[in-house]
Chain A
């Protein structure tokens, strides 16, 4: 621990050059560490191949130092070599993330690497999703200025992380948010609260010579801007949020180098009171991929973020067909109602019953050709014409699901869920010609507490479909002996595969041990292969078989 402290102190001295040793001793060091390692064994049946390294490992550690209004930190990362399913370009060890940040009166400054989001993220969102190997941290400088109660202005400039390097584009952004009630000194909670916001984001990338055919190249914009405006109204249990974003001509590999301007509109309305909540949301997206490198096809170097208006399922079979936002165009609608049947009623029982109903529907946008001679989406043209809320004919995704949870007594509680899903595998996974997956998924999850510390959780999941790989079932039992141990047994079985030779079992056994903020878990089993397609690039996530080790620690 002392060595670590010395390391951090040295780092702070280097980054600031102004702190005295006495100052440093008054600060606080915090952080976390995680190591994921996998030992691989070949399994020719499921397609799990031998790995020449035998073991692969991803790990990271965040180390932060805080003293008053000053904070600095770094993240160490090591991929030796990246575990299967991760991009091999992460291979190596280093410190790709470091920063120093301080607050001085109404100004906050960050230099180094940082994450940021403007509004809902439609013009700018920098974030990391470690489990997916995604990180588009910005390296540069950022300020946050709060000149008056209710006003927050953010500005930033930097380049984005591209594995161990930075992308070629420079991102500039400015965001302002105005809490109107605070500005006007309206303190009453009986009146609605209004918040207005606006963002301006621009990227610079040097021009390039991209061939359209054998003797013509594109004339490319070096500066591309996106703007957005947003409004939030909150009043007691009601909330309305809206944001509109507009992007200027941005020919890129994702949109097939068309010059049409992009736009996106997100509207959400919600209401909640005790025992009842509802949410309605809608989103229109048209040509809104925004990257700091125009030829980037994969999932890296996104400047903005287009959230999927669909429920993110947690159960394995329900999450087998997840929807991914189609940045080139989609219209999404989502509604959700949560209702708690009161305690003491016939259906509510002693503790009440929670019911959640969710529906989402995503379709294409209707596109018309710009003239009779130009095919829709042709490179080096305006691409196409479209109108707002002009639903296309193609259904990308539909999900209707009901979830009911009931606690019978102090020992026993249960959850059941039914999901009806339509998944356009052609569009979402890039499997042209394949019929959309229409699936019905049933989940039952019960937990029985033997004592205040010991519990058994059992899950049964079933996915029924005539498409793709056919029917699946999964059973899982988890024994928890708090606060130290858990044991899990699980099996997935693709019993409905049309190819009888591919009706595989995917068993897993896992054990975990927790001590204070340290956790070690081991699991041994098989994982099925899959294909991920993003932006016109398809990647195989290979099947694997072997022992997984996860070690995590916080301090």
Chain B
């Protein structure tokens, strides 16, 4: 082989590389503005059968001893701000990093039976914290567990499909004296489902202050944020971990489901919301979610 041949080979490789391995060079600015219509539509005076907004459930599996979780909570908060009523966030404290300690800074216990059972079933804290799910999509693959950075893309993608097949409307009645909550969920079928769907109703609370570990200065003091405000904390299931099956739906129309629940002493009713979502029991995919304050001002 001559030098000429070697040179030919080398140049061929290099030129094919340049063609094959194009690289997208991004110049500043690296961000662009987006506008998402977050207008909250008052449905009290309109025929709700005509307007149906698709809403997405974002579950943030977290723990107060998880050092990377405050940054994830900021991502969830940004998504809430961006999409307004179109997204419902649930922060589920479960797994090793959510454990309460007997003494010290982390005695608060936000674990729940429902949260732990979901966490075990979906295998979230086994993979690590923080991770989450968006409408519990892709459970039948390994790809249902999403890192916080992947949440917003999934929300955007899911909201592109505006078709609502089933909608939910929550009405709450709360007795301050007895702390008893009566919640009524109107499930409105806009299409006849090809199988039975299930309804889960839970309670969440915001504005709970207690220490949180943190390793990102951009999220707050390190290593512990002592006055951390925990928002959207899953507090309890109102109708069980996997909810109630709604069977026998053969035509479009509404079904009403009523539940009663007595708030625990340490729950601040003013900061609590009822969250309801309807899903496919086989794929676990959520079709619609809704939330409503326990006490309407």
Spell out A's residues near B (CB within 8 Å): 87-89, 91, 147-149, 151, 153, 162-165, 172, 174, 176, 178, 183, 200-202, 208-225, 227, 248-249, 251, 253, 257, 259, 294-298, 375, 378, 380-382, 426, 430-434, 534, 536-540, 542
Complex Cα spacing A118 to B30, Å: 31
Inside 8 A of B123's CB, which chain A residues have their CB?
88-89, 91
- Knowing A200-B21, A214-B82, the reply to whether A298 touches B128 (Cβ < 8 A) is yes
What are 29 pairs between A and B in contact, CB < 8 Å?
A87-B126, A148-B1, A208-B150, A209-B34, A214-B82, A215-B35, A217-B32, A217-B152, A221-B24, A225-B21, A225-B22, A248-B23, A253-B149, A259-B26, A295-B146, A295-B149, A295-B153, A297-B128, A297-B149, A378-B218, A433-B223, A537-B128, A537-B129, A537-B130, A537-B131, A538-B97, A538-B128, A540-B96, A540-B97
- Knowing A216-B31, A216-B34, the reply to whether A223 touches B23 (Cβ < 8 A) is yes
Which 3 A-B pairs give the minimum distances between C-beta atoms?
A433-B223, A432-B223, A88-B123
B147's partner among A296, A381, A382 (CB-CB below 8 A) is A296
Complex Cα spacing A202 to B17, Å: 10
In the complex, the answer to whether A219 meets B26 with C-beta atoms within 8 Å is yes
A162's partner among B32, B131, B143 (CB-CB below 8 A) is B143
Interface-forming stretch among B8-16, B175-183, B195-203? B8-16
Complex Cα spacing A522 to B151, Å: 44
Complex Cα spacing A211 to B81, Å: 11
Residues B112-144 near A (CB distance < 8 A): 123, 125-131, 141-143
In the complex, the answer to whether B68 meets A163 with C-beta atoms within 8 Å is no
Complex Cα spacing A264 to B5, Å: 32
- Knowing A218-B30, A537-B129, the reply to whether A211 touches B78 (Cβ < 8 A) is yes
B25 at the interface (CB under 8 A from A): yes
- Knowing A213-B78, A219-B32, A380-B30, the reply to whether A295 touches B24 (Cβ < 8 A) is no
Inside 8 A of A212's CB, which chain B residues have their CB?
31
Instruction: Find the B residue at minimum CB distance from A86.
Output: B126
Nearest-neighbour CB distance to chain B for A295, whole angstroms, equals 4
Inside 8 A of B150's CB, which chain A residues have their CB?
208, 295
A172's partner among B6, B9, B20, B152 (CB-CB below 8 A) is B20
Spell out B's residues near A (CB within 8 Å): 1, 5-6, 9-10, 13, 16-17, 20-26, 28-35, 66-68, 71, 75, 78-79, 81-82, 95-97, 123, 125-131, 141-143, 145-150, 152-153, 156-157, 213-215, 217-218, 222-224
Complex Cα spacing A249 to B26, Å: 7
A219's partner among B30, B127, B215, B224 (CB-CB below 8 A) is B30
In the complex, the answer to whether A297 meets B34 with C-beta atoms within 8 Å is no
In the complex, the answer to whether B67 meets A430 with C-beta atoms within 8 Å is yes
Which among B24, B29, B81 has the greatest number of chain A C-beta atoms within 10 A?
Answer: B24
Inside 8 A of B215's CB, which chain A residues have their CB?
426, 430, 432
Nearest-neighbour CB distance to chain B for A256, whole angstroms, equals 9
- Knowing A151-B9, A162-B143, A176-B10, the reply to whether A221 touches B26 (Cβ < 8 A) is yes
Complex Cα spacing A206 to B29, Å: 20
Nearest-neighbour CB distance to chain A for B43, whole angstroms, equals 24
Nearest-neighbour CB distance to chain B for A97, whole angstroms, equals 15
Inside 8 A of B95's CB, which chain A residues have their CB?
540
Inside 8 A of A165's CB, which chain B residues have their CB?
141-143
Instruction: Find the A residue at minimum CB distance from B84.
Output: A214
Which among B23, B66, B130, B145 has the greatest number of chain A C-beta atoms within 10 A?
Answer: B23
In the complex, the answer to whether A200 meets B33 with C-beta atoms within 8 Å is no
Inside 8 A of B142's CB, which chain A residues have their CB?
89, 162-165
Nearest-neighbour CB distance to chain B for A393, whole angstroms, equals 16
Complex Cα spacing A89 to B125, Å: 12
Complex Cα spacing A536 to B216, Å: 10
Inside 8 A of B34's CB, which chain A residues have their CB?
209, 215-217
In the complex, the answer to whether A380 meets B31 with C-beta atoms within 8 Å is yes
Complex Cα spacing A122 to B246, Å: 55
Complex Cα spacing A211 to B28, Å: 17
B26's partner among A201, A220, A298, A375 (CB-CB below 8 A) is A220
In the complex, the answer to whether B21 meets A202 with C-beta atoms within 8 Å is yes
A210's partner among B21, B25, B152 (CB-CB below 8 A) is B152
Nearest-neighbour CB distance to chain A for B14, whole angstroms, equals 8
Nearest-neighbour CB distance to chain B for A214, whole angstroms, equals 4
In the complex, the answer to whether B20 meets A202 with C-beta atoms within 8 Å is yes
In the complex, the answer to whether A172 meets B21 with C-beta atoms within 8 Å is yes
Which among B1, B22, B95, B128 has the greatest number of chain A C-beta atoms within 10 A?
Answer: B128
Inside 8 A of B29's CB, which chain A residues have their CB?
219, 380
Inside 8 A of B68's CB, which chain A residues have their CB?
430, 536-538
Complex Cα spacing A214 to B95, Å: 29
In the complex, the answer to whether A202 meets B149 with C-beta atoms within 8 Å is no
Complex Cα spacing A306 to B207, Å: 43
In the complex, the answer to whether A224 meets B24 with C-beta atoms within 8 Å is yes
A538's partner among B66, B82, B147, B218 (CB-CB below 8 A) is B66
Nearest-neighbour CB distance to chain B for A499, whole angstroms, equals 11
Inside 8 A of A295's CB, which chain B residues have their CB?
146-147, 149-150, 153
Nearest-neighbour CB distance to chain B for A414, whole angstroms, equals 41
Inside 8 A of B67's CB, which chain A residues have their CB?
430-432, 538
Nearest-neighbour CB distance to chain B for A213, whole angstroms, equals 6
In the complex, the answer to whether A537 meets B10 with C-beta atoms within 8 Å is no
In the complex, the answer to whether B153 meets A208 with C-beta atoms within 8 Å is yes
Instruction: Find the B residue at minimum CB distance from A164.
Output: B142
Instruction: Find the B residue at minimum CB distance from A149.
Output: B1
Nearest-neighbour CB distance to chain B for A455, whole angstroms, equals 41
Inside 8 A of A381's CB, which chain B residues have their CB?
30
Inside 8 A of A380's CB, which chain B residues have their CB?
29-31
Inside 8 A of A431's CB, which chain B residues have their CB?
67, 223
Nearest-neighbour CB distance to chain B for A434, whole angstroms, equals 8
Nearest-neighbour CB distance to chain A for B77, whole angstroms, equals 9
Complex Cα spacing A136 to B72, Å: 26
In the complex, the answer to whether B1 meets A432 with C-beta atoms within 8 Å is no
Complex Cα spacing A131 to B35, Å: 47
Instruction: Find the A residue at minimum CB distance from B21.
Output: A202
- Knowing A214-B78, A215-B82, A539-B127, the reply to whether A89 touches B1 (Cβ < 8 A) is no
Nearest-neighbour CB distance to chain B for A154, whole angstroms, equals 10
In the complex, the answer to whether A88 meets B126 with C-beta atoms within 8 Å is yes
B31's partner among A201, A219, A432, A433 (CB-CB below 8 A) is A219
In the complex, the answer to whether A174 meets B26 with C-beta atoms within 8 Å is no
In the complex, the answer to whether A164 meets B141 with C-beta atoms within 8 Å is yes
Instruction: Find the B residue at minimum CB distance from A200.
Output: B17
Complex Cα spacing A149 to B148, Å: 50
B214's partner among A162, A163, A432 (CB-CB below 8 A) is A432
Instruction: Find the A residue at minimum CB distance from B13.
Output: A176
Instruction: Find the B residue at minimum CB distance from A206.
Output: B153
Nearest-neighbour CB distance to chain B for A258, whole angstroms, equals 9
Complex Cα spacing A195 to B81, Å: 56
Complex Cα spacing A249 to B27, Å: 10
Complex Cα spacing A213 to B153, Å: 13
Inside 8 A of A248's CB, which chain B residues have their CB?
23, 25
Nearest-neighbour CB distance to chain A for B41, whole angstroms, equals 20
Complex Cα spacing A215 to B146, Å: 21
Instruction: Find the B residue at minimum CB distance from A182.
Output: B1
In the complex, the answer to whether B81 meets A214 with C-beta atoms within 8 Å is yes
In the complex, the answer to whether B31 meets A217 with C-beta atoms within 8 Å is yes
Complex Cα spacing A212 to B5, Å: 51
